[in-house]
Amino acid sequence: MATHQEDTPETLMARALQLADKTIKDRDAQLKDVLPKASAFDELANTDGLFTLRDSAKLCGWPEKLFIQKLVQSPIKWLYVHSSSGRKLAYAKPIKDGYMDVKQVTVFHKTTGRETYGQPMITQKGLTKLSAKIGVFASRKEIAA
């Protein structure tokens, strides 16, 4: 803030207050822009580092069904489909390598009562590996163009 010889203490104070007000408004605008991103980052950072198959597909930019197909097929083969239940189950190798984990989930069915099963989860390390292996999803429209 430049001063002039004719500035009185009152005009200096008024200009200083105007400058402070502008600075506060600028910071508020920046915070308004950054706050949603920071909240999303905090939410992600506060997770246990495990992601469901659906969330992992979203984070990698793939449709869920195609993403799961990729995990079942060669060369990735992190999952297999149980022959009778149809549930997706993780192979031992990606778990041992730290790419996946299994979270025990209990659900209640009207007919069978409580049932506990293992839900395959992908770790942050696994997401990084998958992103490098499968890349970004290209829709059929993009491939044809």
Question: What is the total count of domains within the chain?
Answer: 2
Residue 104 DSSP SS3: strand
Q: What is the pLDDT of residue 38?
A: 64
Question: Is the N-terminal amide bond of 75 cis, ω within 30° of 0?
Answer: yes
Residues 40 and 106 both lie in one domain: no
- Burial label for 58, CB within 10 Å (0-12, 13-18, 19+), is middle
Q: Is 132 a domain residue?
A: yes
Q: Is 119 a domain residue?
A: yes
Q: Is 1 a domain residue?
A: no
Positions in the chain short of pLDDT 50: 44, 140-145
Q: What is the pLDDT of residue 11?
A: 87
Q: What is the pLDDT of residue 107?
A: 84
Q: What is the pLDDT of residue 113?
A: 84
Q: Which domain holds residue 25?
A: 8-46
C-alpha distances in Å from residue 61, one per residue of 5, 31, 50, 115: 62, 28, 17, 32
Residues 108 and 62 both lie in one domain: yes
Q: What is the pLDDT of residue 144?
A: 45
Residues 20 and 77 both lie in one domain: no
Residues 80 and 100 both lie in one domain: yes
Q: Is 79 a domain residue?
A: yes
CB atoms within 10 A of CB 79: 21
